[in-house]
Amino acid sequence: MVLLQLLLNGIVTGCALGVVAVSFALVYSTTRIFHVAHAGIYTLGGYLAWSCVTHGVPDPVALLLAMLACTLLGALIQAQLYARLERRGATHLIVLIASLGVLAVIQNVIAAVYSPNILQFPSAWAAGVVAVGRLRLTYAQIATLGISLAAFVAVLLFARLTLLGKRIRAVASNPFLAEITRLEPRRVYIYVIGIASAVVCVPGVLVPLDLGLQPYGGVTPLLTATIAMIAGGVGSFAGAFMLSVAIVVFQNLSLLVIPGEWSIGITFFIFVVFMLFRPRGLFASA
């Protein structure tokens, strides 16, 4: 029973991280920017939703408002920071450092405005428990599972079926060709980071609904998501999502046989060994 519960909890958390990985993969595979500030947007989304909820806004509306705000912030970062740096010939390293700077600013502004305390959502429904036999899931976990899966499917469908999705894939595939065929890559980059920011806001709100908010809480999920994206194969959304779930489930289940302090170390050791044999990732396209 403990094994089943650990598996279930791992799948829930893995799905949330999978959405972070997919959104990060969307940015990285299109813009080639290592958008570390994504972790800040993930965190900010939760805090904005928390503010709305504490002011009486219903939880679903709070989520949508937070997504909207994150979309605007993401687009702003691309249009006013990354694009400017690119125009001035900045290297990827410079852009990474700038992104780290944005992350630090977001985290510290959040800590200054909301305090560094761990904040809990005042949504009593989220703590309710559904028990099937001895298996237990909170409503917040069930919402996380359902909405994360829906967000993942939505991103896949968006990329494959919509005009903008196809345009993004074209730009990701060959930015130079996209430029001369008037697909306007720079504008697409703004759309991409805006959309990815909205997507990452979903787990940014749902996870804290269950586990609470912390100003510095976005970095660890982004780290795991980044590893999942690389191991899954850069450019493969399904790979990033599945590897996220696999990593978290493995971490959870490994507790049954090894002490917790070894869990993360062994998981990432396996990742390193895996990358030695398959450096392009599990689902990389040729």
Binding site for another protein (CB under 8 A): 2, 5-6, 9-10, 13, 108, 111, 115-118, 120, 127, 129, 136, 138, 211-212, 214, 216-217, 251-252, 255-256, 259-261
Nearer to another protein, 104 or 177 (CB): 104
Nearer to another protein, 93 or 124 (CB): 124
Please give the Cα distance from 192 to 164 (Å, whole number): 10
Instruction: Tell me the closest approach of the beta carbon of residue 256 to another protein, in angstroms.
Output: 7
Instruction: Tell me the closest approach of the beta carbon of residue 232 to another protein, in angstroms.
Output: 22
**Closest-CA residue to 223 (of 24, 2, 27):** 24
Instruction: Tell me the closest approach of the beta carbon of residue 54 to another protein, in angstroms.
Output: 15
Instruction: Tell me the closest approach of the beta carbon of residue 85 to another protein, in angstroms.
Output: 27
Instruction: Tell me the closest approach of the beta carbon of residue 40 to another protein, in angstroms.
Output: 15
* C-alpha distance from residue 7 to each of 2, 137, 198, 237 (Å): 8, 12, 28, 22
Nearer to another protein, 79 or 270 (CB): 270
Nearer to another protein, 27 or 110 (CB): 110
Nearer to another protein, 10 or 239 (CB): 10
Nearer to another protein, 117 or 181 (CB): 117
Return all residues near 238 (Cβ < 8 A) that are at least 6 apart: 156, 232, 283
Nearer to another protein, 78 or 123 (CB): 123
Side chain identity, residue 168: I
Side chain identity, residue 239: G
**Closest-CA residue to 158 (of 18, 22, 13):** 22
- DSSP for 12-28 reads HHHHHHHHHHHHHHHHH
* C-alpha distance from residue 191 to each of 76, 171, 186, 219 (Å): 10, 12, 9, 23
Instruction: Tell me the closest approach of the beta carbon of residue 91 to another protein, in angstroms.
Output: 29
Q: Are 264 and 251 in contact (CB under 8 A)?
A: yes
Please give the Cα distance from 256 to 259 (Å, whole number): 8
Lookup: tokens for 156: 């896949």
Instruction: Tell me the closest approach of the beta carbon of residue 216 to another protein, in angstroms.
Output: 6
Tally of CB atoms within 10 A around 116: 13
